[in-house]
């Protein structure tokens, strides 16, 4: 996947937010990035875009080599949200806005399978690290703190029980005009959890030095305040705050 070269900087100004699907990562990260004046980068968007391109090209989610070629040849851009339709950012594949296309049930059904392939992850890793190296950035994913940026200045692991996460995703689906039942969304959530945590390469897991936050019974505002407080408390070796007011 093509991306412009980025200048390398200390990863002290990277906040890694990991966790399972619909734990609130993207929503929390957007508000946090706004408050800290940082770039929001949801790495899952890259895998979803590869999955969408594969579906359109008729490439099987089992074909790691072909998927890696798609990842290497596709040009993807992520920008701030241009429309007030619930999106957190814009995702462009070439000249096309695919922000909502990558959120389709068809893409969701194969994205974990696509992300399982070592070849695909290898193709996308340099892109993610270049963006991280050009911080400040709030990075969202499932292996940011464990694989992509293991030296991130702050690592957060957001979690919630599967029914709560499925409920959130179901509401999102209905808001976009989808007709999936809650039970269907719950089964998709459980399947994705199994695939993400069970894959051989970069499985979903909490980094040993990550701070776990259960979002099930908290408001977004409460979670954001907690993470922001942790970020503001960070200090550089010289004693200066990492995230100044």
Q: What is the CATH number of the domain that holds 187?
A: 3.40.50.300
Residue 3 lies in a domain: no
Burial of 22 (0-12, 13-18, 19+ CB in 10 A): buried
Q: What is the pLDDT of residue 215?
A: 97
Mean pLDDT score of the chain: 91
Give the up-direction half-sphere exposure of residue 244: CA atoms within 13 A in the CB hemisphere: 3
Task: Decide if 140 contacts 44 (C-beta within 8 A).
Answer: yes
Q: What is the pLDDT of residue 61?
A: 97
Residue 193 lies in a domain: yes
Look up the pTM and report it: 0.82
Binning pLDDT at 50, 70 and 90, where does residue 89 land? confident
Q: What is the pLDDT of residue 8?
A: 39
CA distances from 230 to 133, 135, 151, 242 (A): 21, 18, 16, 11
Residue 2 lies in a domain: no
Residue 237 lies in a domain: no
Rounded to whole angstroms, the Cα distance separating 108 from 189 reads 10
Question: Which position has the token pair 């508000």?
Answer: 31
When divided into structural domains, the chain yields a total of 1
Residue 155 lies in a domain: yes
Residue 218 lies in a domain: yes
Residue 51 lies in a domain: yes
Neighbouring residues of 49: CB distance < 8 A, sequence distance ≥ 6 = 1, 74, 76, 91, 93, 98, 102
Average pLDDT over residues 20-41: 93
Lowest average pLDDT, out of 20-24, 122-126, 133-137, goes to: 133-137
Domain that holds residue 188: 11-232
Lowest average pLDDT, out of 75-84, 114-123, 222-231, goes to: 75-84
Residue 5 lies in a domain: no
């Amino acid at each position: 996947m093509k991306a412009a070269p980025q200048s390398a900087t200390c990863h002290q100004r990277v906040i890694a937010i990991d966790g399972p699907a619909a734990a609130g990562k993207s929503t929390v990260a957007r508000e946090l990035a706004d408050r800290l004046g940082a770039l929001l980068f949801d790495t899952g968007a890259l895998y979803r875009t590869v999955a969408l391109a594969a579906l359109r090209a008729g490439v099987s989610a089992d074909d790691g080599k072909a998927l890696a070629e798609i990842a290497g040849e596709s040009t993807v851009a992520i920008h701030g949200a241009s429309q007030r339709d619930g999106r957190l950012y814009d995702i462009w594949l070439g000249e096309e806005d695919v922000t909502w296309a990558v959120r389709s049930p068809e893409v969701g059904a194969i994205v974990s399978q696509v992300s399982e392939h070592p070849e695909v992850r290898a193709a996308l890793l340099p892109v993610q690290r270049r963006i991280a190296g050009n911080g400040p950035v709030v990075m969202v994913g499932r292996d940011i703190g464990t694989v992509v940026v293991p030296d991130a200045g702050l690592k957060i692991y957001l979690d919630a029980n599967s029914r709560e996460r499925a409920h959130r995703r179901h509401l999102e689906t209905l808001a976009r005009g989808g007709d999936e039942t809650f039970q269907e969304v719950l089964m998709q959530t459980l399947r994705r959890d199994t695939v993400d945590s069970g894959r051989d390469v970069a499985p979903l897991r909490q980094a040993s030095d990550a701070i776990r936050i259960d979002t099930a019974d908290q408001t977004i505002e409460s979670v954001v305040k907690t993470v922001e407080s942790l970020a503001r408390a960070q200090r550089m070796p010289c004693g200066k705050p990492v995230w100044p007011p």
